[in-house]
Amino acid sequence: MLQLALDRLHARGHDTKPTLSYLVHYPKARLNRTLRTLKLTPKEKALKAEAIQQHETQMLSRRRFLAHARDTEDFHLPMAPEAKHPHHPVAAGDIARGALQLRLKLLKPALSFRDAKLHVVLETLLEGSLRWTLKMPSKSAKARIHCAVTGKPVRWASVRITGRHATISLPAMNAVPLTRIFVKLEKRPLFFDIAGWREIAVDEARRPKLHFHRHTSAHPHAAE
């Protein structure tokens, strides 16, 4: 979401700086990341250690958690948006037949979509920014899509669930052409979500083209 805000500032002529990303919890799967390592000053390292100790409810092992206050911090360049991501619960996404088609796969230890929510952010050329949220049903069914800003229902989605897999079709005909798509499956087994936001690639070749026509009307002059 930070990148969207920076994009808007850049479009308005403001000077924006490149951003770096970081991983809170390292996944078991190896990710293709371009690392940037920053060295902390003693003051910055002490400040991080102090911040860590404020999370008293999570300090099961003080020594283990304070070990994260290291001399260096690893960041990485933002990853390019992809249609498929096998290590994310939103495994695939595409625009087909006027709908945003998503394939979800729950990662262990999650076993059910119960109490999960799907969040979608669409950046469009005609309607601006759209923020949708959908409460996942426990079995295959139609599910209401609500506007995340107003809370009002906006349309229906089709959800098909088979075990730890789900296919979701969200009507998006009125939202095309799309410029950017962000999705997140919110589900918390314990303290944190199973995954964060990810961007789905927009296929430029399949994006509908806009054609603007200038209409002129002739106004005949009255005969003198």
In this structure, what DSSP letter does residue 92 have? E
Q: Does domain 90-205 have CATH number 2.60.40?
A: yes
Q: What are the sequence ranges of the domains in the chain?
A: 1-79, 90-205
Distance CA 38, CA 211 (A): 47
- Binning pLDDT at 50, 70 and 90, where does residue 187 land? confident
* pLDDT tens per residue, range 52-80: 888 776 666 777 778 878 899 888 787 77
What local confidence, expressed as pLDDT, does residue 210 receive?
A: 43
**Average pLDDT of 77-86?**
79
In this structure, what DSSP letter does residue 79 have? P
- Binning pLDDT at 50, 70 and 90, where does residue 169 land? very high
**Average pLDDT of 37-42?**
91
What is the gyration radius of the CA atoms in the chain, in angstroms?
Answer: 23
User: Hunting for tokens 């805000």 — which residue is that?
Assistant: 5
Distance CA 177, CA 132 (A): 17
Distance CA 97, CA 171 (A): 9
- Binning pLDDT at 50, 70 and 90, where does residue 96 land? confident
Which residues have C-beta within 8 Å of that of residue 107, sequence separation ≥ 6?
Answer: 87, 89, 194, 195
- Share the mean pLDDT of the chain: 80
